């Protein structure tokens, strides 16, 4: 293996340490940061993600309240719960876990108060991100990828960054982050997606590859320039008869072959995943600080 591993668990632990200190400072002022999680239906992945976020919040001293809604919940019911959390002065952050079956996502994310939108998906926060206004919240996964680059000492200024995937949760905000006029960004950004032509040739130009299109092991060694930095955001279920569960989770990058070519690579799991939670906790504490100034 030639690539250096980017240890997302270790970097996330550093960030959690910083967040825990800020929680203690708030508590010394009599303030307990609090996040409300909402989850709809019985998607096992959503259950697992919310469970992990809840556990980490408790470890850091952040209060949580998880509201579980059955599949078939009406928009009115969910929006009423969001409005109640918006109005509750003891709640600083609100996260509605996607996917949200049966209810348009923009309706849900647009109903969360921008000040409590620790996911960064409200149009006000998304707009601020595009405009380079640092006062909003940024989506946790792409912000986590940027943090991995910064804390691994990987320069982005003038680098060719190719993002695979144009989703609202990762691809689009990732592009907005990396093209900002900012020492931690300043990259030349390209997005490729399912309608792009000649994807391998474009990806081969990249100094930094961010794979976030949800296609198991799509990025192969022959698409990677020697020495490139490869960040794998994907989480895909593939059949695995050797596993008791009948499936295993793999990323969007064919890790075993790409690690021989890349300069840096995120393991998966243990790369980008832990950073999403780290940035969510940091956003929650930042929300509590801003609301109690």
**Can you give the binding site for ligand GUN, defined by CB under 6 A?**
95-98, 119, 140-141, 169, 276
**Residue with tokens 């930095």, as numbered in its chain:** 229
What would the two tokens of residue 236 be? Answer: 């895909």
Q: Quote the least distance from Cβ 206 to ligand GUN, whole Å.
A: 23
Q: How far is CA 45 from CA 184, 235, 237, 270, in A?
A: 32, 10, 10, 17
Other Cβ atoms within 10 Å of 114 Cβ, number: 18
Which of 121, 255 has the CB closer to ligand GUN? 121
Closest-CB residue for ligand GUN? 98
Of 22, 97, 115, 128, catalytic: 97
Q: Minimum Å distance from CB 49 to ligand GUN?
A: 7
Residue pair 115/287 in contact by the 8 Å Cβ criterion = yes
Taking the complex as a whole, how short is the minimal distance between the CB of residue 145 and ligand GUN, in angstroms? 12
Which CB atom, from 97 or from 180, has the smaller least distance to ligand GUN?
97
| Closer residue to ligand GUN, CB minimum distance, 96 or 159 | 96
Cβ 141 to ligand GUN shortest distance, Å: 5
Our answer to whether residue 97 is catalytic in this structure is: yes
180 an active-site residue?
no
Judge whether 130 and 138 are in contact, CB under 8 Å. Answer: no
d(CA 123, CA 101): 20
Give the CA diameter of the chain.
Answer: 57
- Closer Cβ to ligand GUN, 19 or 276, answer by number: 276
Active-site residue, from 119, 207, 232, 252:
119
Of 105, 92, 93, 87, the C-alpha closest to 40 is: 105
Is 157 one of the annotated active-site residues of the chain?
A: no
- What own/partner pairs with CB < 8 Å and gap ≥ 24 does 223-228 have? 223/199, 224/258, 224/261, 224/262, 225/261, 226/261, 226/263, 227/262, 227/263, 228/261, 228/262, 228/263
Catalytic, out of 22, 53, 116, 172: 53
- Which residue number, 113 or 206, has a Cβ lying nearer to ligand GUN? 113
Residues in the chain, overall count: 293
How far apart (Å, rounded) are the C-alpha atoms in residues 82 and 76?
Answer: 10
Smallest separation (angstroms) from ligand GUN to the CB of 105: 9
Catalytic residue numbers read 53, 97, 119
């Amino acid at each position: 293996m030639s690539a250096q591993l980017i240890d997302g668990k270790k970097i996330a632990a550093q960030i959690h340490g910083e967040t825990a200190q800020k929680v203690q400072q708030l508590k010394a002022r009599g303030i307990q940061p609090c996040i409300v999680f909402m989850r709809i239906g019985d998607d096992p992945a959503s259950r697992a993600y919310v469970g992990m976020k809840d556990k980490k919040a408790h470890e850091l001293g952040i209060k949580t309240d998880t509201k579980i809604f059955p599949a078939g919940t009406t928009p009115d019911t969910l929006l009423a719960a969001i409005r109640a959390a918006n109005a509750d002065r003891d709640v600083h952050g609100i996260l509605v876990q996607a996917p949200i079956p049966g209810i348009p996502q923009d309706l849900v994310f647009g109903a969360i108060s921008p000040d409590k939108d620790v996911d960064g998906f409200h149009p006000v926060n998304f707009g601020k991100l595009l405009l380079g206004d640092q006062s909003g919240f940024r989506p946790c996964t792409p912000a986590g990828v940027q943090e991995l680059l910064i804390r691994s000492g990987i320069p982005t200024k003038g680098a060719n960054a190719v993002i695979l995937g144009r989703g609202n949760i990762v691809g689009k905000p990732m592009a907005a982050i990396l093209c900002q006029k900012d020492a931690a960004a300043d990259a030349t950004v390209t997005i490729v997606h399912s309608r792009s032509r000649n994807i391998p040739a474009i990806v081969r130009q990249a100094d930094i590859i961010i794979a976030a299109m949800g296609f198991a092991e799509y990025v192969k060694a022959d698409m990677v320039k020697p020495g490139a930095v490869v960040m794998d955001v994907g989480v895909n279920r593939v059949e695995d008869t050797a596993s008791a569960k009948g499936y295993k989770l793999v990323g969007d990058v064919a890790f075993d072959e790409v690690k021989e070519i890349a300069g840096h690579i995120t393991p998966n799991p243990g790369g980008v995943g832990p950073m999403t939670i780290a940035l969510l906790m940091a956003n929650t504490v930042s929300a509590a600080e801003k609301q109690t100034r």
